[in-house]
Amino acid sequence: MSAKKIILVTGMSGAGKTTAMGILEDMGYHAIDQFPPQLLNELIHLAVDEHDLRFQNMAIATGASDLPDFVRRFRNIDADLRILYLEADAKVLLTRYKSVRRTHPMLLSNKARSLEEAIEVEKEMLEAYKDKAYLSINTSNLTVMELRHKLQESFRLTSSPVFSLSFISFGFKNGIPMDADLLFDVRFLDNPFWVPELKLKNGEDADVKQFVLSKTQTQDYLHLLDDFLDYSFKEYVKEGKNHFTVAIGCTGGQHRSVVVVNYLYEQFSKQYQCYKRHRDMKVHDA
């Protein structure tokens, strides 16, 4: 069997494909979402390129309309192709769509006239692929961490469990990350926002980093946080946990939380497989 692994992530709209793609990316897959079908030839060329290791293992999200072509084309290359099918109960999908106020793809393509009909039409279009899926998951009552565990069990790239960490910076004014295992509020640290020359910069800038990390208050806090997280992670490894997400929040997610996440990422990358994401940070013009 080929060493290349390709997962086609499909299923009902609103069932969690975006969340699943993020988890697979954390696991080491090259995640590709909303890929234009007309560029499929270029993607297949990258998939078969033995010299481009970025595409050694891919997770590709595709909807009901494009799925048949994706399956047909990828089955013609030397790769371990597997389909991940996500679904949820109709009532749950209705609630999710109404809460985010997005338009269902079947309504956008005029294949349905109501949200209820759109869900049913899409389900019928995908039914045949549900039966062919390597893994089918109903996410109606699943938490993000439960979904992560199921995906790690089925699609892990290494034979032995690897404990990995995700560090996320965010701004409380934009809401908290729902997939965080631990959340820390650093709004008590001195805020670079009130320094005129730092206001429009972000935590990736050297002078912002210097401002935050040079404070005795920050240094004392990070010393305590280091010790707490170091102890916690070791205990979670003993417990058999595979992945842990730590969220660091400040007011807007631009300065303090970014600096702290970068610091923690550098510290714990020496021991664990780590990922970081600055959810709300704006990239300023050079």
Higher pLDDT, 284 or 75: 75
Q: What is the mean pLDDT of the chain?
A: 87
Q: Is the pLDDT of residue 245 over 70?
A: yes
- Per residue in 160-193, pLDDT tens? 556 889 999 999 999 998 889 999 999 999 999 9
* Alpha carbons 159 and 203: distance in angstroms, whole number: 37
Judge if pTM exceeds 0.85.
no
| C-alpha torsion 36→39→42→47, nearest 10 | 30
Q: CATH for 5-155? A: 3.40.50.300
Which range in 74-83, 125-134, 189-198, 232-241 is most confidently predicted, on average pLDDT? Answer: 189-198
Q: Is the pLDDT of residue 159 over 90?
A: no
Mean pLDDT across the stretch 113-130?
Answer: 88
Instruction: Give the SS3 label for residue 82.
Output: strand
Structure tokens at 141: 């009552």
Q: Is the pLDDT of residue 1 over 60?
A: no
Closest CA to 64 of 136, 21, 127: 127
E-only strand ranges, 80-156: 80-87, 135-138
Q: What is the pLDDT of residue 27?
A: 84
E-only strand ranges, the chain: 5-11, 30-32, 57-61, 80-87, 135-138, 164-171, 182-185, 243-250, 273-278
| In the chain, where the domains are located | 5-155, 164-278
* Alpha carbons 1 and 5: distance in angstroms, whole number: 10
Contacts of 9 (CB under 8 A, 6+ apart): 17, 20, 21, 24, 59, 60, 61, 62, 84, 86
Higher pLDDT, 162 or 154: 154
Higher pLDDT, 202 or 240: 202
Percent of the chain predicted with pLDDT > 90: 41
